Amino acid sequence: MLGTAGAQLPAKGLVIKNTDGLIFIDMGRQDNVMKGDLFDIIDNDVVLHPLSGDTLSVTPRSVGALKVLQVYPKMSLAELLHIQGGKDPMLMQVAQIHSPDRLVEIERYIKQSTATASGVSPRLSLIPGLYQYRMGEKTKGLSLLGLEATALVLGMSYRLSSNDWYAQYEELGPGLSPTDYDFYYNGASDRRSMSNRLFWLAGALYAYNLVDVMWMGGNQMQLNARVERKTDFGLGLSAEGRPMFNLMRRF
């Protein structure tokens, strides 16, 4: 999340020029801006009274993100990473991002966008973990790939071992004690059960992989993080059902 609105936000600037995805903001070297810094594009969500049309609340929220490419004394050139709904960022406010969670979120989005632009095929999702790895989620991708491979290899090993034990059980001659028959039969049965559990695990990992790929493809990054406000103002109803204004202050 970003900081609170107004004075509690980091030093704010404005978008002063927009040219084909290249943005100029009125913050530069004198504002301690550095190459590679990330900024949120801030727009105001206005709530109007349904009858009078008066403004009831103004909620600043992030609608996009910028990455600084070049810094000048009083302005900076930035790349437009994302903006909701194709909005024009001209004259919108910008705020430098300091939240670690937000920085990680945007860095992940940049990696995914780069991977998508390089032509990552959705068919990679047929191998669990490979799509995630190519999209920049290397830890998740390697973990999924390793777990899937381990489950399949162990499942096959236990299945082959179960078949061997059952073959030995069928080759037992007459005259042995019931304990000997039970030993081989139970050994084959236990290994078959373990094999089935491992194959179920492999199937569950494969299903999780497909769901995760669909989630990554449809929701690569939520860039609509709302700015947390200390004061909320809106409409509500009293206990008697009368309309009234609500004012809430967080300390």
Residue 60 sits in a domain whose CATH number is 2.40.10.410
148 within domain boundaries: yes
Checking if the pLDDT of 250 tops 80, the result is: no
Please list the helix, strand and coil fractions of the chain in percent, rounded to the nearest 5, in that order. 45, 25, 30
Whether 21 and 67 map to the same domain: the answer is yes
236 within domain boundaries: no
Q: Are the C-beta atoms of 50 and 135 separated by less than 8 Å?
A: no
Whether 61 and 133 map to the same domain: the answer is no
Q: Which has the higher per-residue pLDDT, 244 or 37?
A: 37
d(CA 128, CA 140): 10
Residue of 32, 216, 25, 8 lying closest to 113 (CA atoms): 216
Residue 164's pLDDT band (boundaries 50, 70, 90)?
very high
Supply the pLDDT for residue 222.
45
48 within domain boundaries: yes
Whether 133 and 74 map to the same domain: the answer is no
39 within domain boundaries: yes
End-of-domain residue from the set 57, 82, 98: 98
Residue 251's pLDDT band (boundaries 50, 70, 90)?
very low
Whether 94 and 163 map to the same domain: the answer is no
Percent of the chain with pLDDT over 70: 77
Whether 128 and 173 map to the same domain: the answer is yes
Supply the pLDDT for residue 174.
84
228 within domain boundaries: no
Whether 87 and 16 map to the same domain: the answer is yes
Whether 135 and 190 map to the same domain: the answer is yes
Residue 227's pLDDT band (boundaries 50, 70, 90)?
very low
138 within domain boundaries: yes
Pairing mode, strands 38-48 and 243-249:
unpaired
What pLDDT digit, counting tens, does each position of 16-38 carry? 988 877 899 999 999 899 998 99
40 within domain boundaries: yes
Checking if the pLDDT of 224 tops 90, the result is: no
Supply the pLDDT for residue 4.
34
Domain count, the chain: 2
Average pLDDT of the chain to the nearest whole number? 79
User: Over the Cα atoms of the chain, what is R_g?
Assistant: 29
d(CA 194, CA 212): 27
Q: What is the pTM of this model?
A: 0.51
167 within domain boundaries: yes
Query: Residue 195: helix, strand or coil by DSSP?
Result: helix
Supply the pLDDT for residue 223.
42
Whether 63 and 148 map to the same domain: the answer is no
What range does the domain containing 148 cover? 124-218
Whether 91 and 40 map to the same domain: the answer is yes
Checking if the pLDDT of 238 tops 90, the result is: no
Whether 65 and 28 map to the same domain: the answer is yes
Whether 92 and 169 map to the same domain: the answer is no
Whether 212 and 132 map to the same domain: the answer is yes
What pLDDT digit, counting tens, does each position of 80-131 carry? 888 887 788 888 889 888 888 888 888 777 776 766 666 566 777 788 988 8
Residue type, 96: Q
Q: Are the C-beta atoms of 96 and 11 separated by less than 8 Å?
A: yes
Pairing mode, strands 76-83 and 55-71:
antiparallel
